[in-house]
């Protein structure tokens, strides 16, 4: 996969006439509390409205006149993406713009989504972004439903009893649809601007991006630091490894350019991770790399004011109680994880797997290799510790030893095998051995060994000066929320009843969505947004009452 990447990149860059990426972001709601989780569905389309599959990652920023409040990365596959981010609890009350862009296209504020954020734990407000309205005048400025677009129908009883179940019916009579679906409590927290799809369609064309297109995943940029003044960067090419602790497929090699910049072409690294970044030692120099952020921090432009009124008090109290209940329960127990783009390094490769709990324990890695992991040995040669691998010829009649083995611990590259000599082998859980050659970043290895510890203990190793362990915000996991209740829930105060970021409905077919009503009364709204197979936008809303 990675061998053909350079050629693919050349072909794509050689034809700059490709249409730009236009990113539309659908969210589960338009109003949030500081601390809320925002569910997102991304539609990356070209100038004709057709899904654009050139980019593999999109960048989201929640911005106001005060700057960027939150950032997120959402993976894209064939023009569609899904994920989430949490609004920081210290975010001031105000109106925000949720902008999305790729490396191929800059942020387009005119086509972004407008979100309202209320902070119930602070009096902080966005500078000039809040308007106070008396309670008697508030209903006059409450948000109205957006217009219906495209051929789609929603069906649900108009009145439902608290705690009961119901089925939302979506129909696509004429076209195949790819949509997001949200069902939520339509309370007194009116959004600043509900016409998000209309604003996107009327927005200005996206401007070309300034970076290399990210066609397989995020391109992580790093800068070389700590070089002496006598080192000429253009003559001394620097090689570096980047590894994500916990996943052996997230191993990348980069080389510096004339400016001392290194690019790692990844397959998208998911979740908040610890990255181990190592510079291969240069003669007489001990340098390291620092990662550059990919976010561009665009200007927010003019934003409508958020309306504050005493009429919102009870709705804010309900929202806060619901948020506290949500935060008390781990979200991974409530959401459903959707398929994601997988790493390709070991895809389909046979592996010899040892689960160490099945054997008598030994305190050192050398003893483990001697006693039962017979495919490898840990020896000292020429004053250095090395992992070597045994292999056989095609007839399996001869057994011989191979050096040049890629050694990993918890998916992190270990170039100095001596680090393993004093490692407490009682912390190991598994050993995975790949006996076939592996090539990446222009470097070939005769095999791979990955030592898996019980809790990613690799980051506790005492690495040399040329290694840095850094926190990294990766691509958000694609998730849906099917309306799962937290364990032990008796008083169901959910504000969000259902969310699916990528629901496909075949032409002439229907989708049945099972909903459980909360135990309180109120008005609720179902919103469907998306595109048809031939590039036409669709949007529909349906309001119902629980009482």
Residues 437 and 523 in one domain: no
Q: Let me know how many helices (H) and strands (E) the chain has, helices first.
A: 4, 37
Q: Is 80 part of any domain?
A: yes
Q: What are phi and psi of 268, to 5 degrees?
A: 80, 120
Residues 50 and 119 in one domain: yes
Residues 373 and 493 in one domain: no
Residues 357 and 335 in one domain: no
Q: Residue 365 maps to which CATH number? A: 2.170.130.10
Q: Is 461 part of any domain?
A: no
Model pLDDT, residue 235: 53
How much is the pTM? 0.90
Q: Is 244 part of any domain?
A: no
Q: What region, left, alpha or beta, does residue 5 occupy, with left being phi > 0 and alpha being psi -120 to 50 degrees?
A: alpha
Model pLDDT, residue 288: 85
Q: Is 123 part of any domain?
A: yes
Q: What region, left, alpha or beta, does residue 11 occupy, with left being phi > 0 and alpha being psi -120 to 50 degrees?
A: alpha
User: pLDDT tens per residue, the chain (547 residues)?
Assistant: 443 444 344 334 434 445 678 899 999 999 999 999 999 999 998 888 888 889 999 999 999 999 999 999 999 999 999 999 999 999 999 999 999 999 988 887 766 889 999 999 999 999 988 999 998 888 766 555 566 677 788 899 999 999 999 999 998 878 889 999 999 999 988 787 655 676 777 766 667 887 888 999 999 999 888 766 545 554 567 889 999 998 888 999 998 877 778 999 999 999 999 999 999 866 556 788 899 999 999 999 889 999 999 999 999 999 999 998 888 888 888 999 999 877 777 776 789 999 987 666 788 999 999 988 989 999 998 899 999 999 876 666 667 788 999 999 999 999 999 999 989 999 999 999 998 888 887 889 999 999 999 988 998 888 888 899 999 999 999 999 999 988 778 889 999 999 999 999 998 889 999 999 999 999 999 999 999 888 888 999 999 999 9
Model pLDDT, residue 229: 52
Model pLDDT, residue 196: 67
Model pLDDT, residue 228: 60
Q: Residue 115 maps to which CATH number? A: 2.60.40.1930
Residues 442 and 369 in one domain: yes
Q: Is 507 part of any domain?
A: yes
SS3 state of residue 98 = strand
Domain that holds residue 396: 352-456
Closest CA to 80 of 58, 63, 101, 109: 58
Q: Is 263 part of any domain?
A: no
Which residues are paired to 274 by β-bridges? 471
Q: Is 217 part of any domain?
A: no
CA dihedral 179, 505, 499, 513 (to 10 degrees): 150
Model pLDDT, residue 48: 80
Residue 30 CA to its chain's centroid (Å) = 21
Number of domains into which the chain is organized: 2
| Last-in-domain residue among 422, 456, 490 | 456
Task: Go through 70-79 and write b for each residue having 16 or more CB atoms within 10 A of its CB, e for each that does not.
Answer: bbbbbbbbeb
């Amino acid at each position: 996969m990675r061998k053909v990447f350079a050629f693919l990149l050349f072909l794509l860059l050689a034809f700059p006439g490709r249409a730009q990426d236009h990113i539309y972001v659908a969210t589960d709601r338009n109003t949030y509390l500081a601390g809320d989780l925002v569910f997102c569905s991304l539609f990356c389309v070209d100038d004709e409205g057709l899904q654009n599959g050139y980019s593999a990652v999109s960048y989201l920023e929640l911005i106001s006149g005060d700057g960027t409040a939150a950032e997120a990365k959402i993976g894209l596959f064939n023009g569609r993406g899904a994920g989430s981010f949490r609004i920081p609890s210290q975010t001031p009350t105000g109106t925000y713009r949720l902008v999305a862009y790729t490396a191929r296209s800059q942020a387009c504020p005119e086509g972004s989504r407008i979100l309202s954020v209320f902070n119930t734990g602070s009096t902080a407000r966005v500078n000039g972004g809040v308007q106070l309205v008396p309670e008697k005048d508030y209903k006059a400025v409450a948000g109205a439903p957006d217009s219906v677009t495209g051929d789609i129908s929603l069906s649900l009883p108009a009145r439902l009893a608290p705690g009961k179940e119901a089925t939302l019916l979506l129909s696509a009579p004429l076209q195949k649809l790819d949509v997001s679906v949200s069902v939520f409590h339509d309370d007194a927290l009116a959004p600043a601007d509900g016409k998000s799809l209309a604003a996107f369609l009327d927005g200005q064309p996206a401007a070309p991006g300034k970076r290399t297109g990210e066609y397989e995943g995020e391109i992580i940029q790093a800068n070389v630091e700590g070089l002496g003044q006598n080192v000429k960067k253009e003559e001394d090419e620097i090689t570096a490894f980047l590894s994500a602790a916990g996943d052996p497929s997230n191993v990348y090699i980069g080389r510096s350019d004339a400016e001392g910049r290194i690019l790692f072409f990844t397959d998208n690294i998911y979740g908040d991770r610890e990255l181990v970044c190592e510079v291969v030692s240069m003669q007489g120099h001990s340098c390291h790399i620092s990662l550059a952020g990919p976010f561009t921090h665009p200007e927010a432009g003019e934003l409508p004011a958020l309306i504050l009124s005493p009429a919102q008090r009870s709705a804010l109290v309900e929202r806060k109680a619901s948020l506290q209940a949500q935060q008390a329960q781990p979200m991974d127990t409530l959401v459903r994880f959707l398929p994601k783009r997988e790493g390709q390094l070991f895809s389909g490769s046979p592996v010899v797997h040892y689960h160490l709990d099945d054997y008598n324990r030994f305190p050192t890695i050398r003893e483990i290799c001697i006693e039962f992991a017979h495919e490898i040995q840990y020896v000292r040669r020429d004053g250095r510790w090395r992992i070597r691998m045994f292999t056989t010829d095609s007839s399996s009649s001869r057994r011989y030893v191979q050096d040049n083995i890629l050694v990993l611990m918890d998916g992190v590259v270990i170039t100095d095998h001596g680090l393993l000599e004093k490692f407490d082998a009682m912390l190991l859980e598994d050993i995975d051995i790949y006996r076939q050659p592996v090539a990446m970043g222009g470097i070939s290895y005769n095999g791979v060994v990955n030592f898996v510890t019980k809790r990613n203990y690799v980051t506790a190793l005492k690495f040399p000066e040329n290694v840095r362990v850094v926190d990294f915000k990766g691509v958000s996991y694609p998730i849906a929320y099917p309306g799962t209740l937290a364990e032990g829930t008796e008083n169901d105060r959910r504000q969000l009843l259902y969310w699916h970021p990528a629901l496909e409905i075949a032409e002439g077919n229907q989708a049945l969505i099972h909903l459980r009503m909360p135990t309180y009364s109120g008005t609720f709204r179902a919103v469907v947004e998306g595109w048809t197979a031939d590039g036409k936008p669709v949007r529909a809303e349906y309001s119902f009452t629980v009482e």
